[in-house]
Each structure stands twice: as C-alpha cells, then as structure tokens.
Amino acid sequence: MHLAQLNVAQLIAPLDAPQLADFVAALEPINAIADTAPGFVWRLKGGDQPTDTVKHDYGDHLLVNFSVWESREALWNFVYRSPHLPVLRRRREWFHRVAEPYTVMWWVPRGYTPSLEEGMARLDLLRSQGPTSEAFTFQDFYDFSGT
C-alpha cells in the first residue's frame, strides 16, 4: 500500500500578487525536492512548468497539493525534515487560516493513481466524520490495516 495525501489552502491573493512572490518563488525548488525525495511516488501537476498549479472547480484561490508516498515516514521526512519545513512555517503569510481540516491522508494500492475528486471526497469525509481509517491525518494516523 501507498499513502495518498491531499492538502488544500485558500490563497490570500492571486498567485501573481506581490505578497505571494516568495511563495511562488519557492514552488519550483520545493516541488523538485519532493519529486526526488526518498519514498516519493507521484504528485498531481498543473502543467509542465514548475510553477503551474492544479486547475480545478473547487473555488477561486484554492491551492491544491496532492501526492502519493511509499510510507508515512517518507511523507513525514519530506514535510518536516527537508527544506519544505521553512516554507511550511510561513504558510500564514500566504494562506487564510481555516478552522476545519485542510489535510487528509488515506491508503491506496501500489500502482493506483487517485483522482482529485477522490481526494476532495476524503477531505470532506474527514471534515464531516473526523479521523477514520478512510480519512486521517498525521496526528490521528491509521496504518494500512486500519488500526
């Protein structure tokens, strides 16, 4: 099994706004680090350019990050033990704060590529039912056996 993760964030302004310049500048290097990180399997891309964001119908200024990893440890190491962490720490400069979950994880079979619709449904499940083996977070984590 592999670990799918989706996180969404509501931008405080359009991507070409001056207050998002540092964030946009970080997209290419951080995506390159993710793409070559140990345990990385796949991520949804918005296009061929490193700063192309995922196009969707889930609202204006909603940024989507969607990827699959070999394990919880691989994802954790990228998120919290790589140059991604300083960018993550600055998220309040670029994104609105939200009271509901904005990150969700679930297990997928090796070789399976989940759809964005599936990811958004898992996030909705987490928001409506709380953490379950079908939709969970790092804090309330379920292994692939459901425990």
Is position 57 within any domain? yes
Is position 145 within any domain? no
Looking up residue 11, the CATH number of its domain turns out to be 3.30.70.100
**pTM: predicted TM-score of the whole model, two decimal places:** 0.92
Q: What is the pLDDT of residues 95-121, one digit of tens each?
A: 999 899 999 999 999 999 999 999 999
Is position 10 within any domain? yes
Q: Which of 126, 143, 6 is nearest to 72 (CA)?
A: 143
Is position 79 within any domain? yes
Q: What is the DSSP string of 64-89?
A: EEEEEES-HHHHHHHHHSSTHHHHHH
**Alpha-helical runs (H) found in the chain:** 21-36, 72-80, 84-89, 91-94, 116-129
pLDDT of residue 46: 81
pLDDT of residue 123: 97
Is position 101 within any domain? yes
pLDDT of residue 50: 59
Is position 75 within any domain? yes
The boundaries of the domain holding residue 38 are 2-129
Name residues of the chain where pLDDT drops below 50. Answer: none
pLDDT of residue 49: 67
Is position 143 within any domain? no
- Split into its structural domains, the chain has a count of 1
Is position 120 within any domain? yes
